[in-house]
Chains A and B, each alone.
Chain A
């Protein structure tokens, strides 16, 4: 299996002088295709920042992020955007659904942005799996927290990205829903051989991963 994601000496500093914050202080990471990696660490340890770097949401202060052979630093803004569209599926803690679109539209949004036709069967299947079939045309304001999160996950799955980056996707869910949702994700990812990088503080969840990475003060530590 080949490497899908590599970081070299990845650093992200904020501020300067006495307000200098080292969010990431030299991360060297290699992820293989199809791996499920769990990222664990205390809050403020830099986990979210790492995810942002991997998804091209932000630029590192120094160091490289290489995804499928392309160094993200060499891409211009529009290329980064298209990269995100096609390669990455984000699942954030606060769902981030577009408020003016209904569930279905939210789910197929990345596809539509790329002008790709959604595979209706596949989408219907996802909706069914996520138990959102009745809420297909509901607006985010009409959904519960758990349902919104499922929409976000469905969205990440629908466009078949190579990498799914999840930041505490079950953070706002109760433990049972968490397990269910997680199971769904892991299964789908497995079938499609997608790479899943998930931030979590829940060791039970982390154990389901192929590999666990511990982050402390912006660096990877051995456990």
Chain B
């Protein structure tokens, strides 16, 4: 059927009714703005977070590019580069094996040739200068320059010593440009010019397949035009050029085998998990939706109830249900059209302000490099969600309005259409407090609804606060380090202990020991993998590396007694006699956090294992030197960051250091771990001393509980700030809601009050009655909040807390306690002041206007 052309009249009535409803409009717009602000802030932050994470991961990996072909030859490059699937291809070649500058010891530095695409991929934006052109020109990053002590001035000459294959070279380069290094970049590169590359071409032949020497090998980064099905595309691309890779199940030793990898960034395995950010976003969105819904629903529900006679009147005159629904919807739309844009703008700025705070909490401390981008999708998304919230909130009031019976227009009293079944057998109804109760009981549904929605906001606020408050620093820190300090070489803390030649000088350890704050400590010793290796005759130990017999490789450590004594015993007993006799070993199980064993190795205490000791020559050849049998006397829980060289994969096995030193020819001290004397002050002072010490000694470094604590505090503070902001807004919404409920409950009954006063109720009595009503609301709300708040805390929040390892659930009702007096004050003040206002009008006027 063709719909009737009666649309304009509804518009007209909507407009006029809109203008007549100033109060409701104001509060509704406030509510809408708040809701939109919340959505926008969340989206802005979430988006920035995701974006930044992705960018930083890419940077961390050293260069953009979906695919990396590592250690290939120029030939491979030439064959592959013209493949039609490729959108962009970046060419890089390592031109030096090692940079031999002492001052750069603490920094992982490499010398590369990178073409322009590669530089673009790596995200190196030159702060000053230009790409290297002449043979002598190089560009590098700020950190490296600082390390070398070189001025960041273009044209400065830089003298570098480096090793290419087995030749040592010295070259004087000229700084052509530099970029600002990211705080956390793993690699600091020195980039040479094409001319230079050509010049030393012959010195850097590709020898990787022979001696695993990196210089001369090419690393190529590729972006495909289609960013889907990367694995298949690699396969196709390589096949077309006549190569194979791991993803095809090919043999590693094949002559046409190429090492290809999909960039981790595109695999979405970021250290700040993308999926957790998305879950967080979804959770927050739901939360905001519920909060917004509560208040907007309330506002419209109250508004509809106030105007019920009007709707009944319209029904009498011939307005259909559909038309009434449209009437309300148009008004809601108008309010949304005003409130949402305001909310978007405010929310955006709030999000922008909060993003840096958020960033500090992660390992990406790059506040300056976070580019705040204005993405339309944030606004569209927030506006969309906000509108959806409004739409859903309005749907029930809309329905109520449309189903009004036309007879409502003829009624004078605010009654429900359902007639009460029982008579009221009482004679004491005239007392003020009873009247107050009866008033609330008149529309039980409405009363409950109001109390419920008010209480829920308080509950939400409480839950958010409880959650945020659950950050447990102790637990966090203990996961990494269970002693006050650990000192070692800088490379150790860079997870590069294995590769470095540098050893901890005894002077470092002595220095620490000589401090008055020093308490007790011990060494952790092991061998260099390239010199001595150990394999255990046991199937029960996992290891990726096996010897010719198929025995798994183990990491054997020697530990000072102090360390052994303080290890966390899982099974067995620390029998020092057996240990000292060289007959016992302790197996270390990694702690996955919170004192839980990550993967318990099935080996039993009491089992006997034979361990084969090997010497390594030429880095590959193994010569067995001894086989010794040990008994497993205990299993302990170890923190990887404390009791290993931070390079794992094999089972960690401990024996006393003296025993270790007996068996091993070339022991290396991994680290020295110690506790300070009791007292915060001692720790503080030791920390300062160590900081000073390593400042002048870039090859050394240290870790402390305090460092982790500080780091974590940053995280905690961020969450507290964000949680408080959100919680605060939610609480504010709850307060506005409460205020609105009180306000309208008085205003709606203006005529009724006038009638009461005309039969003799004094102003004071009226005030008492209303204040009593308000107090009942407030107290009911508070009690409900406490009840539900507790329930929700003990269930949902607790579960969430337990799922995150550095959280401890700390029950609190503080937020509710804080809101309670505010509610009570509003419950008293609003009726009081409204009554004062009413007193100014005469009773007749008030009766008439009803």
Contact = CB atoms under 8 A, between A and B. Distances in A.
Do any beta carbons of A and B sit within 8 angstroms of each other in the complex?
A: yes
A187 interface: no
Contacts of B16: 100-101
Contacts of A15: 419
Interface in B5-20: 5-9, 12-13, 16-17, 19-20
Interface stretch (A24-32, A111-119, A214-222): A111-119
B510 interface: no
B10 to A, nearest CB: 8
Contact of A115 (B5, B12, B321, B407): B5
B315 interface: yes
A96 B409 contact: yes
A82 B318 contact: yes
B407 A57 contact: yes
Interface string B4-44: 11111100110011011000000000000000000000000
B316 interface: yes
Nearest to B5: A115
B321 A84 contact: no
Contacts of A86: 318
Contacts of A92: 410
Interface string A104-136: 010001101111000000000000000000000
A90 B5 contact: no
Nearest to A79: B320
Contacts of A115: 4-7, 9
A82 B320 CA distance: 7
Q: What interface size band does chain A fall in?
A: 20 to 34
Given A19-B423, A57-B406, A114-B4, A105 B316 contact: no
B408 to A, nearest CB: 10
Contacts of A105: 12
A92 B310 CA distance: 15
Contacts of B609: none
A210 interface: no
B5 A84 contact: no
A52 B407 contact: yes
Contacts of B310: 98-99
Contacts of A110: 317-318
Nearest to B423: A19
Contact of A101 (B6, B13, B318): B13
Given A52-B407, A98-B13, A112 B8 contact: yes
Contacts of A71: none
A160 to B, nearest CB: 13
B543 interface: no
B319 interface: yes
B322 interface: yes
Max chain B Cβ within 10 angstroms of own Cβ: one of A98, A101, A110, A113: A113
A85 interface: yes
A113 B323 contact: yes
Given A14-B419, A57-B407, A105-B12, A84 B317 contact: yes
Contacts, number: 76
A90 B539 CA distance: 96
A96 B410 CA distance: 8
Interface string A46-59: 00000010000110
B318 A114 contact: yes
Contacts of B19: 100
Interface string B472-496: 0000000000000000000000000
Interface residues of B, number: 32
A58 B405 CA distance: 8
Nearest to B313: A96
B6 A112 contact: yes
Contact of B316 (A19, A77, A84, A99): A84
Interface in B308-342: 310, 313-323
B15 to A, nearest CB: 9
A52 B9 CA distance: 26
A127 B569 CA distance: 100
A58 B16 CA distance: 29
Nearest to A18: B423
A61 interface: no
B841 to A, nearest CB: 15
Nearest to A90: B316
A113 B5 contact: no
Contacts of A14: 419
A70 interface: no
A177 B56 CA distance: 86
Contact of A113 (B20, B317, B409, B410): B317
Contacts of B421: 16
A15 B8 CA distance: 41
A78 interface: yes
B320 A78 contact: yes
A111 to B, nearest CB: 9
A94 B411 CA distance: 11
B12 A81 contact: no
A104 B380 CA distance: 43
Contacts of A98: 13, 310, 313-314, 317
A19 B421 CA distance: 9
Contacts of A52: 407
A98 B17 CA distance: 10
A11 B431 CA distance: 40
B6 A81 contact: no
B316 A113 contact: no
B407 A81 contact: no
Contact of A85 (B8, B317, B423): B317
A85 B406 CA distance: 12
Contact of B6 (A19, A77, A94, A113): A113
A58 B417 CA distance: 12
A8 B815 CA distance: 65
Contact of A58 (B6, B8, B407): B407
A81 B325 CA distance: 14
A94 B316 CA distance: 13
Contacts of A19: 423
B317 A100 contact: no
A90 B313 CA distance: 11
A100 B17 contact: yes
B9 A109 contact: yes
17 contacts: A16-B421, A19-B423, A81-B319, A81-B321, A84-B316, A84-B318, A84-B406, A86-B318, A90-B317, A98-B310, A100-B17, A101-B16, A105-B12, A109-B9, A110-B317, A113-B319, A114-B318
Interface of B: 4-9, 12-13, 16-17, 19-20, 310, 313-323, 405-407, 409-410, 419, 421, 423
Interface of A: 14-16, 19, 52, 57-58, 77-78, 81-82, 84-86, 90, 92, 94, 96, 98-101, 105, 109-110, 112-115
Given A99-B310, A115-B4, 12 more contacts: A52-B407, A57-B316, A82-B320, A84-B318, A84-B406, A90-B316, A92-B410, A100-B17, A112-B12, A113-B9, A113-B317, A115-B6
Nearest 4 interchain pairs by C-beta: A85-B318, A115-B6, A112-B9, A100-B16
